[in-house]
Amino acid sequence: MFDTALTAGDLWFMMKGAGVTLAITFFAVVGGTLMGVTFGVIRSHVSPWLTLPLVFVLDIFRSVPLLIQLILANAFQAIAGLQISPFTTSCIVLALYTSAYCTEIVRGAIDAVPPVTRRAARSLGLTWGQDMTQVVFPMALRVGLPSWIGLTLGVMKDSALVMWLGIIELLKSSQIIITRLQEPMLILLIAGAIYFALSFPIARLGGHLERKWQEND
């Protein structure tokens, strides 16, 4: 198994794949978080009946396999003749997918801020905007950040599915090398180690923050 035909060039190919994984994750998480915060604030401030359509649509992204979402989006852009690249399509789908989860995290975090605290802030003469930026967001951040870190890592792992649209990210690049070298275990172990190295330290950080902030409460 250690007598391998794997070259530095192959490893570089995989690293480039990992770069694509990170790029897609970055765009998806940035886009998804912006949407998620917006939707989350709306969810926690507007009556449940009015937000029902939003809730329904977001729920679809959490109840249909991501792979099918990607296939549908790609088929749709082809049908509509939009000429959107698979990379952009993937980023959009993953961003919407992220926003669906992020909305729930944001809403939960905002709802975790006790109403009395908010009333206290308003009674001091703070405007709604000041209350949100000075009191609610800083408090909600502590509640939501650990889950948000988990979501980000989840999106990075789920981004492996974009290979179905022909994008050569980390796992697809490994598969290409496997097909050529026929050394599946070794190459997959390297791919797994890269994923693990990207995910594990951040996951530990998230767990650490969660424990630390819970102790203070």
Partner 1 sequence: MFEYTFQWRQAFRALPQMLEGALVTMQISLLSMVLGITIAVLLAVGRNSKSIWLRAPATTWVEVARNTPALFQIYMAHFGLGSFGIYLSPFVALLAGITFNNAGYLCETFRGALRAIPDTQMRAGRSLGMGPAKAFRLIIAPQMFRIAFLPTTNQMVWAILMTSLGVTVGMNTDLTGVTQALNSRTFRTFELFALAGVIYYCIAKAVMLGARLLAWRLFRY
Q: Binding to partner 1 (CB under 8 A): which residues in 102-131?
A: none
Is residue 90 within 8 A of residue 24, CB to CB? The reply is yes
- Using H for helix, E for strand and C for coil, what is the string for 58-69? HHHHHHCCHHHH
DSSP string, 179-192: HHH--HHHHHHHHH
Is residue 94 within 8 A of residue 24, CB to CB? The reply is yes
According to the binding rule CB under 8 A, does residue 64 interact with partner 1? Answer: yes
Compose the 32-51 pattern: x for residues touching partner 1 by CB under 8 A, - for all others.
Answer: --------------------
Q: Which is nearer to partner 1, 136 or 143 (CB)?
A: 143
Please state the closest distance from residue 84 (CB atom) to partner 1, in A.
13
C-alpha distances in Å from residue 164, one per residue of 34, 72, 97, 171: 26, 12, 17, 11
According to the binding rule CB under 8 A, does residue 163 interact with partner 1? Answer: yes
According to the binding rule CB under 8 A, does residue 196 interact with partner 1? Answer: yes
Please state the closest distance from residue 69 (CB atom) to partner 1, in A.
7
- Backbone dihedral region for residue 46 (phi beyond 0: left; psi -120 to 50: alpha; all else: beta): beta
Instruction: Please identify, among the stretches 7-15, 28-36, 76-84, 89-97, the one whose residues bind partner 1 according to the rule CB under 8 A.
Output: 76-84
According to the binding rule CB under 8 A, does residue 72 interact with partner 1? Answer: yes
Q: Which is nearer to partner 1, 143 or 161 (CB)?
A: 161
Spatial CA neighbour of 96 closest among 41, 32, 40, 155: 32
- Report d(CA 77, CA 74) in Å as an integer: 5
Please state the closest distance from residue 129 (CB atom) to partner 1, in A.
35
- Report d(CA 168, CA 175) in Å as an integer: 9
According to the binding rule CB under 8 A, does residue 65 interact with partner 1? Answer: yes
According to the binding rule CB under 8 A, does residue 60 interact with partner 1? Answer: yes
- Report d(CA 68, CA 119) in Å as an integer: 45
Please state the closest distance from residue 163 (CB atom) to partner 1, in A.
8
Question: Which residues make up the interface to partner 1 (CB under 8 A)?
Answer: 1, 60, 63-69, 71-72, 75-76, 79-82, 153, 157-158, 160-161, 163-164, 171, 175, 178, 183-186, 188-189, 191-192, 195-196, 199-200, 203
